[in-house]
Amino acid sequence: GRGGLAGELAGKLATEAQVPVNPSARETDGRELAELCFAKYGRYHDMTLLRNKVFDGQWQVAFNIYGPCLGQRSFSYTEKQYLEKLDTAALMLNSFDQAWFVKEFLTQPIQPRAGLPSRPRPDSAVTLRLNNSPSWREVDPELVEEWFAITGLGG
């Protein structure tokens, strides 16, 4: 395999090739997330960002898509509350420059991944680990900390 500076440069170029250059492709809002979810799964599922401590004090940040959806009795949000919740998730994704990664996932065909459910179910979410994004290592950990402290969404 490649090592040293050549390997590092090859990895950086591969990462840059995956990240869209177009600014509109790198941002989103709550309505776009809702519509992408509906286009993929046929429902307006509950979605949020979550953070969990995994090992050695490291955090895993994920975009979760849950089984409950708009219009179900078990999901008590109004459309306005739902879009406000998704707008908060979108602001976080834009701030982390990870909206493109989530949009890419939401536009891909439904498929099982590493033993995880392919569709949101009442008992388990579809989880997209933002830490697996090729550009995640460029996200400032303090920015992540601030967002989760403000929103109270995890850890």
Total residues found in the chain within this entry: 155
Phi and psi angles of residue 111, each rounded to the nearest 5 degrees, phi first: -155, 145
Q: Quick one: pLDDT band at residue 59, thresholds 50, 70, 90?
A: confident
A 10 A CB-CB count for 92 gives 23
More confident residue, 16 or 22: 22
- At 90-125, the pLDDT tens digits run 999 999 999 999 999 999 999 887 777 899 998 889
Please compute the mean of the pLDDT values over residues 17-42 and round it to a whole number.
87
| pTM for this predicted structure | 0.84
Which residues make beta-bridge pairs with 51? 61
* Tokens 């498929």 -> residue: 111
Measure Cα distances from 10 to 19, 31, 98, 139 in Å: 15, 36, 21, 20
pLDDT score recorded for residue 25: 76
pLDDT score recorded for residue 68: 94
Mean pLDDT of the chain: 86
pLDDT score recorded for residue 117: 82
* Tokens 């982390």 -> residue: 96
